[in-house]
């Protein structure tokens, strides 16, 4: 990931956070900013990033400043990191359960073989 990509990482969800925090729909923001609702959807879903001038229009439409966007980005990134930690814990738990199940199946199989042989 390049430095530019890292700077923009989470931009779409941060814009969505600012919009929903203000009780706006994408159509409301489109009307207030002059940016098409389809473009706003693209940005919020992370499928594209706005140019600086478009970002400025969106912030004006939101009644927000770059500092508000920065705070929203920090919240989104913290939430993303927390989600990753939970997902990693869940994966480890799933692997532990699978390993335990395989160990029990092997133990049962070996017990069965011992009965047959004995």
* Domain harbouring 34, CATH code: 1.10.260.40
Encoded tokens for 69: 């966007």
pTM: 0.63
Given this model, what pLDDT does residue 116 score? 80
Residue 20 lies in a domain: yes
Give the integer Cα–Cα distance in Å for 2 and 12. Answer: 17
> Is 67 inside any structural domain?
yes
Q: Decide if 37 is inside a domain.
A: yes
The label of the residue with tokens 């499928």 reads: 47
* 3 has pLDDT over 60: no
**Residue of higher predicted confidence among 7 and 17:** 17
Domain that holds residue 19: 3-84
Per the structure, how many domains does the chain have?
1
pLDDT at 101 exceeding the cut of 80: no
Residue 110 lies in a domain: no
pLDDT at 78: 85
Q: Is residue 10 part of a domain?
A: yes
Would you state the pLDDT for residue 49?
92
Instruction: State the average pLDDT over residues 86-100.
Output: 67
């Amino acid at each position: 990931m390049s430095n530019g990509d890292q700077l923009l990482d989470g931009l779409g969800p941060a814009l969505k956070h600012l919009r929903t925090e203000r009780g706006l729909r994408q159509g409301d923001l489109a009307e207030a900013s002059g940016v098409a609702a389809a473009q706003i959807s693209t940005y919020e879903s992370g499928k594209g990033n706005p140019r600086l001038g478009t970002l400025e229009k969106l912030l004006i439409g939101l009644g927000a400043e770059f500092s508000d966007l920065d705070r929203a980005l920090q919240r989104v990134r913290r939430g993303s990191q927390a989600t990753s930690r939970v997902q990693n814990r869940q994966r480890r738990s799933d692997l532990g359960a699978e390993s335990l199940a395989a160990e029990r199946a092997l133990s049962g199989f070996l017990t069965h073989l011992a009965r047959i042989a004995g």
